[in-house]
Amino acid sequence: MKTMRKIPIGVSARHVHVSKEHLELLFGSGHKLTAIKELSQPGQFAADERVTLVGPKGIIQRVRILGPIRKATQVEISKTDCYTLGIDAPVRESGNIKGSPGIVIVGPYGPVKIEHGVIVAKRHIHFTPKDAGEFGVSDGDTLVVKVEGERPLIFGDVVARIRDDFSLDFHIDTDEANAAGIGHGDMATILDKE
C-alpha cells in the first residue's frame, strides 16, 4: 500500500432504499422523503420516514429509509436480522439484487411486497479517484483492513469502490462493528490487497 493513512469507519444499520413508485404506495401519492441527517456520502441522507419489514418468521419495526429515491427498492439488513426475519439474504454489493429474496415492507398507507431486493451489504471502502491514487487501489480491488477497538479485527474481502462523488469511508454493518467493539467514526487501516 502506498499510504498508512487512516480511514473513517461508517457503521451501517439496517435500512431501506425505495423507488418512487414504492415510496408513494407506502406513504401516499406525491410523497417526498424528508431528510433529517446528512450521511457520510455526498447527497445521501437519512429520512424521517420509517417502515416495518415483515419476513416469514418475524418482523422488524421502525426501519429507516435512506434517500434519495432509487430506481429499484432495496433492503439492507445484517445476518442477525436475517435470523429474526427468516430470510436467507446473500452478501452482495449494493445494487446487486438479482436473485435475492423478497420481503413485505409496510408503511402508513399499506404494504408493498418486493419479489427480490433483500441483501446483506458487502463491506466496502468508498474512495475518490484522488484517495484511490494515494492508497494505490483500483475500483473493484479486494482489500484487507484492520480495525482497532475493544476486540481488534482484520477484515478480508473488502471491496474498493471509486467514484468522483464519494467520500473516503469504510462501510461495515452493525454485526461487524459489534464483533470488533467499534463504532461510527472510529478508524481503520488498509493492510494489503488480497
Tell me the average confidence (pLDDT) per consecutive run of 10 residues in the chain, 194 residues long. Answer: 82 97 97 95 95 98 97 97 98 94 97 98 97 95 93 96 96 96 93 91
Look up the CATH number of the domain holding residue 187.
2.40.40.20
Look at residue 69 and tell me if it is in a domain.
Answer: yes
Supply the pLDDT for residue 149. Answer: 81
**Which one of 68, 98, 120 terminates a domain?**
120
Look at residue 5 and tell me if it is in a domain.
Answer: no
Which residues form the domain of 109? 13-120
Query: The whole model's pTM is what?
Result: 0.92
- Alpha-carbon torsion, ordered 115, 172, 181, 146, to 10 deg: 140
Question: Do residues 141 and 109 both lie within one domain?
Answer: no
Look at residue 53 and tell me if it is in a domain.
Answer: yes
Which residue is associated with the grid cell 475493544? 150
Supply the pLDDT for residue 2. Answer: 67
Question: Do residues 91 and 71 both lie within one domain?
Answer: yes
Distance CA 2, CA 89 (A): 36
Supply the pLDDT for residue 194. Answer: 86
Question: Do residues 116 and 137 both lie within one domain?
Answer: no
Question: Do residues 49 and 116 both lie within one domain?
Answer: yes
Supply the pLDDT for residue 3. Answer: 66
Supply the pLDDT for residue 1. Answer: 58
Question: Do residues 22 and 45 both lie within one domain?
Answer: yes
Q: 53 to each of 10, 76, 122, 190, how far by Cα in Å?
A: 23, 11, 20, 35
Question: Do residues 146 and 101 both lie within one domain?
Answer: no
Q: How many domains does the chain have?
A: 2
Question: Do residues 115 and 71 both lie within one domain?
Answer: yes
